[in-house]
A = this chain, B = another copy of it.
């Protein structure tokens, strides 16, 4: 039997600071015990008690009683670990609420109008592609110019002081430059928009999975992200500008598809049809794909990334639109950058990073090399796991001690200065000189080398990471000596690990590739040495495999990463070895520790739903999984009751089953529909109710537009004033509730519930008994809390943070 230990730390909860005042799905009302009472399977009372509306004073008092009783069990500070599931994240609703209003609208729309909607979708995708491409161009051009400026200044300075001594001034200059640039980048992130930190890939993964991360697709986030990533790269951190493109694309998509900006308070009155979670999610997938496409020149890889991370329900038309956006994105980037680089028509820059041409004739692989590649995959998996483990401890440390913005900025500056110092010392100590002729080094540092030679360590450190990667792939054999590569790998590994998780906008793709390329090339050189310089042991090829192995070992992406690497090399020949390497790296890495993104998602305690329920969870049924009792509303309900329920801070449900209100059918209170908090808020705001005495009167009609205008920032219940008279009015929910919510019987197994929930992107799933009476509710947290741990099935605790 699986070991099902349950810890529910508390259920009484404060309001969170989310702007629309909602918090939490329909959560269980205090049916758990404190952490002290953990252990053993959860005992459920078999009573299927229905709390129909009317929160009596007794009820409220009970809640308060329990609230005041609980704090002694509540620890002052929750040790932040991955065994918790935070209640502060809400779900997105990827299932349309098919209420009467919606159906009436859909029925009014004829075939031609649907075609218009379809054309609009394509237009939006084209715009997403174009804008994402342009943003990528902007980042690329600005980084290139600023970094060029910086390197030229430092190089001049170094050249000056190399002759007359006093290189410590150069170091100081370099470190100060880096630290100050990074400071600006860190300040804007830490103080203005913390969600713009990092690559944004975990956040987008969560969004596509159905978790609402506050502010993640805001215009402000985009601006901070773009500025932040430019500053991080120019500041010389061990970061890339590719990962953030995915986030940027997603924000662009979310913005365009809604036809308005709530930040700028502009509503263009277009694309109103798309103002709901389902449609927005589809466009965000396209935006993320366009971002990948622009970053790596990998349109197919972008589509696969979006599908791997997000779309649970594969739809051919959607996929084709996503592909269109991706293609447009890389094409836009390619055109603009080609023009910028002066060779207008040749379309030679499909992505922000371009691995360069791998000539398959010169650098083809043979069957004998396959075991070697697999071995490299093993190394990549181990190194990746090490990277993730180190980063895990670092992140735990940061969560505990470096949570104040000022400290975060100071840490970022420190890392920037250290990065510069390490680079400088490494370059200074290196005695690896290479002839400058025929090499493609952008900023050759002569330092102590003879005239006409340059310091080889400087090609790796004194350059943007993208250029270093390409150099490692393509520089002719002999460009680096093994010592240089070894030292570089070691140093860069720790620097990159320290850098990931800083409060700056930056990606981990390029540093991973760089580490991998360095040890891969080292490996290739050793191999060539061992085999007495066989021609097949091309160090560039091994650098590529090393890069794939290292990246795979860190992020553990599979299909999409293979395709991205294939497209970035512009060559399908390496498909098979890259796949082998990535697969090996993933298997080996997974043996030790999770992938970096998943790890960070878990550290944030996000209720993330994986692809399938844990394999050993067939022993659980909906009955054990669901939250109960459920707060239900009657079809014709008293306004005061609705207000009380919505204001009840101890539960904060977001979806309410609607049951039959006929008083003489007390026995069978069958499910009639489901209504959302956001819908109720709009109803209350527009005063859609009638006096109890005049029930025959028709209540005010609302249009779907009223709901769309309020989307996605519905006001909190506190901002809606309901007078005492109005409290006694009645509200008829029939027209607004979803009359056909998905339901499961209590006997359904967890995998079955999970499959339904995941495949349809649900937010609320009502559990009914044999007579169609509501007995429970399953939400994302009820499913996400079951996980396959080392010793079998484990259950995460729910927590406030």
Listed in ascending order, the chain A residues whose CB lies under 8 Å from chain B are 1, 96, 98, 103, 106-107, 109-111, 114, 297, 299-300, 303, 307-308, 311-317, 319-320, 323-324, 327, 330-331, 335, 345-347, 350, 360, 364-368, 558-559, 562-563, 566-567, 570-573, 575-576, 579, 583, 611-612, 615-616, 618-619, 622, 660, 668, 670-672, 739-740, 742-745, 747-749, 752, 755-756, 759-760, 768, 770-772, 788, 792
CA distance A576 to B570 in the complex (A): 13
* Closest-CB distance, A570 to chain B (whole angstroms): 5
B570 in contact with A572 (CB, 8 Å): yes
Which residue of chain B has the shortest Cβ distance to A586 in the bound complex?
Answer: B320
CA distance A733 to B671 in the complex (A): 27
Copies in the complex: 2
- Please indicate the chain B residues that have their CB under 8 angstroms from the CB of A747 in the complex: 739-740
Which residue of chain B has the shortest Cβ distance to A96 in the bound complex?
Answer: B752
A320 in contact with B559 (CB, 8 Å): yes
Given A111-B792, A313-B314, A563-B300, is A103 in contact with B366 using a C-beta cutoff of 8 Å? no
Interface centre among A303, A563, A792 (most CB of B within 10 A): A563
* Closest-CB distance, A778 to chain B (whole angstroms): 13
A367 in contact with B335 (CB, 8 Å): yes
- Please indicate the chain B residues that have their CB under 8 angstroms from the CB of A313 in the complex: 312-314, 755, 759
Q: Given known contacts A299-B576, A300-B300, A324-B583, what 7 new A-B pairs fall within 8 Å (CB)?
A: A110-B792, A303-B559, A313-B313, A320-B583, A670-B772, A740-B747, A742-B756
A575 in contact with B300 (CB, 8 Å): yes
B111 in contact with A615 (CB, 8 Å): yes
* Closest-CB distance, A201 to chain B (whole angstroms): 16
- Please indicate the chain B residues that have their CB under 8 angstroms from the CB of A346 in the complex: 364, 366
- Please indicate the chain B residues that have their CB under 8 angstroms from the CB of A114 in the complex: 615-616
18 A-B interface contacts by CB (under 8 A): A98-B752, A106-B749, A300-B300, A300-B575, A303-B559, A313-B755, A313-B759, A314-B314, A315-B611, A323-B558, A323-B579, A345-B366, A347-B364, A570-B573, A670-B770, A740-B745, A743-B743, A755-B760
Given A756-B760, A759-B760, is A345 in contact with B368 using a C-beta cutoff of 8 Å? yes
Given A364-B346, A583-B324, A616-B114, is A740 in contact with B752 using a C-beta cutoff of 8 Å? yes
A319 in contact with B308 (CB, 8 Å): yes
- Please indicate the chain B residues that have their CB under 8 angstroms from the CB of A771 in the complex: 668, 670, 771-772
* Closest-CB distance, A59 to chain B (whole angstroms): 27
* Closest-CB distance, A94 to chain B (whole angstroms): 11
Which residue of chain B has the shortest Cβ distance to A311 in the bound complex?
Answer: B314
